[in-house]
Chains A and B, each alone.
Chain A
């Protein structure tokens, strides 16, 4: 492709990646146990925004704006957040096998949620606890990984592994002492990950940190490139490596903790979506990061649609992402022979 063609292709491509999540969202609003045609969806949205009667039945209104819309919006944000933080962590840790949970945010959030379920059985407090414990786990990992006042990627990963393992053990302990009739199923269901239990009042716990985190990552997307050259080289290229690494970790952690605190741990998104994006755009985070965000949003919304239509009893989305993600990943490795990413 010559340079002229390339410049023409850029805005077109940009448009595609901005449009795709909205297309996925529309599909998600239409499909489910009660299929609703797109035109009704548009009318319902219009009615919801303007407050003027647009001829939509009360029943359809409830399904669209009360159930499917919050769920779709949350799915898009959670997917985008997990993909963005996975992309960022892969760059910072110079490792394509890293995902958004590398520093223990997921196991921390799970423990927090379990403690909340055990102590309060209160659905409003669960995301708060999950968020706080998620941040706490990453903070501990960072402290453990900080040796001689600098944080090498190896010691950080070690710190993350140790803290994850400790928090997982504590989670097992809480499961062990939890009431097997109502608390244990609630904890187990939470850790499987689901978008079904999204409550509109909880969405702010998620969306604010997710947006903040993604803004930090988008601002640092060139710096992530430079960090992936390794600490010493990044420093010699003029980067304040300590502060930059901390900012990227903070951004990725805010985004992931925001996602996990309302949806539970949804695996694979933070690993597989960045790779799909890498194959499409290459590894330059200037393009990779926004494309990952767009694809993450699409991916999770689409998987959620699948969870709803595949059977009468809804399948937890965390199970579905693994079932789809694993084989799809194998396909990518075999088909592309690792081309373009390692």
Chain B
């Protein structure tokens, strides 16, 4: 069974068609990277899978079951989500925010207990934020906040994680840190990851780390091409979708080939 299977998905905001006949499937323990220009429909696609939008046609199956047949609690146990933008409200402590990921584990009117607290602290440790538990989450930097949201998603203990631009606005160090943590999770826990991003080099990062990685290049609501990073991230494809000349190069060092993309002219 596939972790996620989307077939014939179409969606429109009123008369404006956003997604047209999108189909793809995701094996357990793999990573799919959604690339494409601003407004091509990446976030809308994530929104359809998460149930924020109701698709006009097509089916979305998580572990073989249509998404609309899950209750909110069941769904959160299967799929976790790291939003691109988080609007802060009250200055909760970091541990309290991460603990909210444990909402799935208890009944409607009860609160998380000691065991949940332990899992929350463990999740914080896994994203490298040990010692942050008692800090106010409103005072964190953008990179730290992103890690807190990833820790919260980790707490849900779901098999599939959706991330919307997980490295946007992060500095070099935090960017690589997020990628390394995701790599480790996929490798250690068999997590399946679907993420939307603008970083053309990131798919190669996962591939270089030995993760089963694929890229879906999306253009005007359609999947332009889907396949391995080496097949999809090419000069021709980038020109056709972004209209920008680029070069995909190979860097050879310590007996390893590493791909990277640079713009040209």
**Chain A: residues with CB nearer than 8 A to chain B?**
91, 94-96, 219-223, 225-226, 228-230, 232-233, 235-241, 244, 278, 282-284, 286, 340-342
Q: Known: A284-B93, A284-B96. Is A226-B103 also a contact (CB below 8 A)? A: yes
Cα of A277 to Cα of B72 in the assembled complex, Å: 31
- Closest residue of chain B to A278, judged by CB? B90
Q: Convert B31-55 into 0s and 1s, putting 1 for each residue whose CB lies closer than 8 angstroms to a CB of A.
A: 0000000000000000000111000
Whether B86 pairs with A233 at a CB distance below 8 angstroms is yes
Whether B96 pairs with A228 at a CB distance below 8 angstroms is no
Q: Convert B85-103 into 0s and 1s, putting 1 for each residue whose CB lies closer than 8 angstroms to a CB of A.
A: 0110111110010001101
Distance (whole angstroms) from the CB of B213 to the closest CB of chain A: 24
Q: Known: A229-B100, A240-B71. Is A94-B111 also a contact (CB below 8 A)? A: no
Q: Which of A96, A237, A284 contacts B76 (CB 8 A)?
A: A237
Chain A contacts of B260 at CB under 8 A?
none
Q: Known: A219-B109, A236-B81, A341-B91. Is A225-B96 also a contact (CB below 8 A)? A: yes
Our count of residue pairs bridging A and B at CB distance below 8 angstroms stands at 85
In the complex, whether B65 has a CB less than 8 A from a CB of chain A is: no
Q: Categorize the interface residue count of chain B.
A: 20 to 34
Chain A contacts of B110 at CB under 8 A?
222
Cα of A221 to Cα of B96 in the assembled complex, Å: 13
Whether A282 pairs with B93 at a CB distance below 8 angstroms is yes
Chain A contacts of B79 at CB under 8 A?
236
Cα of A91 to Cα of B90 in the assembled complex, Å: 8
Whether B111 pairs with A238 at a CB distance below 8 angstroms is no
Distance (whole angstroms) from the CB of A96 to the closest CB of chain B: 7
Q: Which of B75, B77, B89, B111 contacts A222 (CB 8 A)?
A: B111
Whether A283 pairs with B83 at a CB distance below 8 angstroms is no
Distance (whole angstroms) from the CB of B45 to the closest CB of chain A: 15
Q: Which of A221, A228, A237, A340 contacts B111 (CB 8 A)?
A: A221
Q: Which of B72, B86, B96 contacts A238 (CB 8 A)?
A: B72
Chain B contacts of A282 at CB under 8 A?
92-93, 96
In the complex, whether B112 has a CB less than 8 A from a CB of chain A is: yes
Q: Known: A225-B92, A284-B93, A286-B111. Is A239-B103 also a contact (CB below 8 A)? A: yes
Distance (whole angstroms) from the CB of B251 to the closest CB of chain A: 38
Please give me the 9 A-B residue pairs with the lowest Cβ-Cβ distance, nearest first: A238-B76, A238-B104, A222-B111, A283-B90, A94-B89, A219-B109, A236-B81, A238-B73, A237-B103
Cα of A110 to Cα of B91 in the assembled complex, Å: 35
- Closest residue of chain A to B149, judged by CB? A233
- Closest residue of chain A to B110, judged by CB? A222
Whether A230 pairs with B87 at a CB distance below 8 angstroms is yes
Whether B83 pairs with A228 at a CB distance below 8 angstroms is no
Whether A238 pairs with B103 at a CB distance below 8 angstroms is yes
Whether A241 pairs with B72 at a CB distance below 8 angstroms is yes
Chain A contacts of B103 at CB under 8 A?
222-223, 226, 237-239
Chain A contacts of B75 at CB under 8 A?
238
Chain B contacts of A232 at CB under 8 A?
50, 52, 83
- Closest residue of chain A to B138, judged by CB? A342
Cα of A238 to Cα of B111 in the assembled complex, Å: 13
Whether A240 pairs with B73 at a CB distance below 8 angstroms is yes
Q: Known: A240-B72, A284-B96. Is A235-B90 also a contact (CB below 8 A)? A: no
Chain B contacts of A96 at CB under 8 A?
90
Q: Known: A96-B90, A222-B112, A342-B91. Is A235-B71 also a contact (CB below 8 A)? A: no
Residue of B75, B90, B156 with highest tally of chain A CB at under 10 A: B90
Q: Which of B81, B83, B91, B100 contacts A226 (CB 8 A)?
A: B100
Chain B contacts of A223 at CB under 8 A?
103, 108-109
Whether B104 pairs with A340 at a CB distance below 8 angstroms is no
Whether A220 pairs with B90 at a CB distance below 8 angstroms is no
Could you list some 16 contacts between A and B, CB below 8 A? A94-B89, A94-B90, A220-B109, A226-B100, A226-B103, A229-B86, A229-B100, A230-B86, A233-B83, A236-B50, A239-B103, A240-B72, A240-B108, A282-B92, A282-B93, A341-B91
In the complex, whether B80 has a CB less than 8 A from a CB of chain A is: yes
Cα of A96 to Cα of B96 in the assembled complex, Å: 18
Chain A contacts of B81 at CB under 8 A?
233, 236
Cα of A96 to Cα of B138 in the assembled complex, Å: 14
Distance (whole angstroms) from the CB of B3 to the closest CB of chain A: 17
Cα of A342 to Cα of B156 in the assembled complex, Å: 27
Distance (whole angstroms) from the CB of A41 to the closest CB of chain B: 38
Chain A contacts of B91 at CB under 8 A?
283, 340-342
Whether A235 pairs with B51 at a CB distance below 8 angstroms is yes
Cα of A283 to Cα of B91 in the assembled complex, Å: 7
Chain B contacts of A219 at CB under 8 A?
109
Q: Which of A222, A286, A341 contacts B90 (CB 8 A)?
A: A341
Distance (whole angstroms) from the CB of A5 to the closest CB of chain B: 13
Q: Convert B108-125 into 0s and 1s, putting 1 for each residue whose CB lies closer than 8 angstroms to a CB of A.
A: 111110000000000000
Chain B contacts of A230 at CB under 8 A?
86-87, 89
Distance (whole angstroms) from the CB of A101 to the closest CB of chain B: 20
Cα of A198 to Cα of B104 in the assembled complex, Å: 45
Chain B contacts of A278 at CB under 8 A?
90
Whether B77 pairs with A228 at a CB distance below 8 angstroms is no
Whether A239 pairs with B72 at a CB distance below 8 angstroms is yes
- Closest residue of chain B to A227, judged by CB? B89
Distance (whole angstroms) from the CB of B151 to the closest CB of chain A: 13
Distance (whole angstroms) from the CB of B137 to the closest CB of chain A: 10
Residue of A91, A220, A232 with highest tally of chain B CB at under 10 A: A232
- Closest residue of chain B to A228, judged by CB? B89
Cα of A229 to Cα of B73 in the assembled complex, Å: 16
Chain A contacts of B72 at CB under 8 A?
235, 238-241
